[in-house]
Chain A
């Protein structure tokens, strides 16, 4: 499969207060960005159980994004800081399991940062496209072949 024909399957957990609203802004402002990210709205980035991330990879995701409010802006005080600690620790575990760190990304996107959301989507899609399909347990990414 050539890299051009490989469309990465990405799962994004976005907090409802900042990042989901930021993604919504990108949409209402008609900004264009790759359609690879499947968005799942959660109440807080701190609600993202590491099991969700593993389950996404197991079921065929090539990359997983968690996006929350900027540090200091969390609706629940420090849910995003817990997400930060879990992201760094889970990244190390994923690497030990043979899953590249670049497939698991944490970003801060505020409700007014539609442009940042667009950039994150573009960058992450290209980053995972360059890595190629994860092919965990025989699952492939979307192929256009």
Chain B
């Protein structure tokens, strides 16, 4: 290992592993990255331990890519440790950026999640009713577990974040561009999302099929209709988050004939992606009297979960009100 190469770390928190996969998916390009940097910490792929990280001088890692939201005390501790050791922190992927799919747990809290997972699912076999405990003794050994929180947080709730690499998982071009910009020192101002600041619709192949005046008479879910592979999803009555979602994702969902679900988060001008989409979508509904508006609105199965599929923990309200959870 050469001393002159910049040091890079990868870490995962509350995530699925897809963002780790997005690094491996760079394919041959990963070799260029490996040639240019020293990877000094990457628990999913390389055998470094926490003590190795602790032994490094503060600020000695050029950049740490952290994926996943923060929902446990151990993730908080690791995020702070990496922050101390790193010059730059990049929130890698939708979960670190916005909270992501695991952030939908913010419709519940610790006790309701534990009740479901450890007691009431049909596949749970737990006659003693055991739940994870911070400390337990097994055969004379004291075992500890991290604390599970009520709320999932995006990474920037916990530590200072320098850049955001959006997407679930981020598109390879965005990762390559980010790494190149870091290596060449051509970074945008701190706090930037490293992706184009335009909507998903801007790049969409189906843009030409969008009618002059888009209206929705009936709202359909993707499994209820045979989706035309060329027509704008909204024109087919299917909820597509494209208008309120940042582009640059490579439109992999659209090319797979599925509507945008919003993983790239909002563009720079928008604070709350779900509210902004709600605003755009409601105005398309082809109904003017109260009864018809209500019938259409009530036909959406899970509006909050759909509009905030990836962004609930970073939205204005952040979570369901604790006192309202049964």
Binding site for B on A (CB under 8 A): 49-51, 53-55, 57-58, 71, 78, 81-82, 84-86, 88-90, 92-93, 96-99, 134-137
Contact = CB atoms under 8 A, between A and B. Distances in A.
Point out which of A86, A93, A137 has the most chain B C-beta atoms below 10 A from its C-beta: A93
A90 to B, nearest CB: 6
B288 A81 contact: yes
Interface stretch (B91-99, B118-126, B269-277): B269-277
A92 B304 CA distance: 8
B56 interface: no
A57 B289 CA distance: 27
B290 interface: yes
Contact of A90 (B278, B283, B298, B323): B278
A34 to B, nearest CB: 25
Interface of B: 107, 270-272, 274-276, 278-279, 281-283, 285, 287-290, 293-294, 297-298, 300, 302-305, 307, 315-325
Given A51-B272, A54-B272, A96-B303, A85 B316 contact: no
B266 to A, nearest CB: 10
A81 B288 CA distance: 6
A84 B272 contact: no
B320 A92 contact: no
A85 B318 CA distance: 23
A85 to B, nearest CB: 4
Contacts of B290: 84, 88
Given A51-B271, A92-B303, A86 B321 contact: no
Which of B305, B321, B323: most chain A Cβ within 10 A?
Answer: B321
B303 A89 contact: yes
A135 B323 contact: yes
* Secondary structure call for the A interface: helix
A51 B320 CA distance: 16
A55 B278 contact: no
A92 B302 CA distance: 9
A97 B304 contact: yes
- Residue from A49, A55, A84, A89 whose CB has the most chain B CB atoms within 10 Å: A89
Nearest to A91: B297
A97 B278 contact: no
A136 B304 CA distance: 17
A38 B320 CA distance: 25
B279 A92 contact: no
Most buried by B among A53, A78, A136: A136
A71 B288 contact: yes
Contacts of A58: 316-317
A85 B321 contact: no
A98 B324 contact: yes
B215 to A, nearest CB: 11
A92 B219 CA distance: 16
